[in-house]
Amino acid sequence: MTAGGVVRPVDAAGLILLRGKREAPEILLGRRHSKTAFLPDIYVVPGGRVDPCDHLPSGFRERLHPAVAKALGHGRRPPIAFLRAALRELHEETGLILAGDGSGKPGATAVWQAYGQAGGAPDFGAFDFVLRAITPVGSHRRYNTRFFLADGGTATGDLHGDGELVDLRWWKMAELDRLNIVDVTWALIRLALARWQARVPVGVEPAKLLVYRSDSLVLRVPAAPRRRARGTTRA
């Protein structure tokens, strides 16, 4: 919490997965448990806060697309930590991994061991950065979340999880209107779906920034960071 009583956002990462036909894809969503302190009974994509283990190498080749790495590189954390977190949360909350064309030997963290046991490796360069969303200032819990888009057709494993998400499954777009989904997730779905259906290559479109101004959602392209004077540090 800052000196003015405003809760400082916690870094987090999420992953939106689409699969199937481009004109009628399916999306992986689950409902947050009713006893969860943040957004109970709300349908969300897999994701969560960046943990210390996400600063440890996966053991695989970790080359992000250059445009994605650049867009993620303006904070205190290494860009790769956000994608490690997204893949870890996916595995913990859904039991799935995304085996791609990556290579290497798995690190000690459970998610990377799961890749090794499956004989696969994540292709870090195949993930697009779609949206950065910051929880409203008045919230008692705040997150600064980076959301990534990936091909759900590469997902392997039995769909299950750690219990944080229930009613977890691949949903058709026509079914989403009956689900309890917040505006941030709707914005993410629309942005990701547009990229998916247009087959936009990774890194071509900049990630949008979603913030709140006077309780209204604002979606925009983030401005380029200002050049810092030598010797200064970021808060």
Q: Which of 8-17, 191-200, 207-216 has the lowest mean pLDDT?
A: 207-216
Q: How confident is the model at residue 121 (pLDDT cuts 50, 70, 90)?
A: very high
| pTM of the predicted model as reported, rounded to 2 decimal places | 0.88
Domains of the chain and any CATH numbers: 10-51+83-98+125-220 (3.90.79.10)
Cα separation, 22 vs 25, whole angstroms: 6
Cα separation, 222 vs 132, whole angstroms: 9
- Secondary structure class of 124 (helix, strand, coil): helix
Higher pLDDT, 149 or 74: 149
Q: What is the pLDDT averaged over residues 177-195?
A: 94
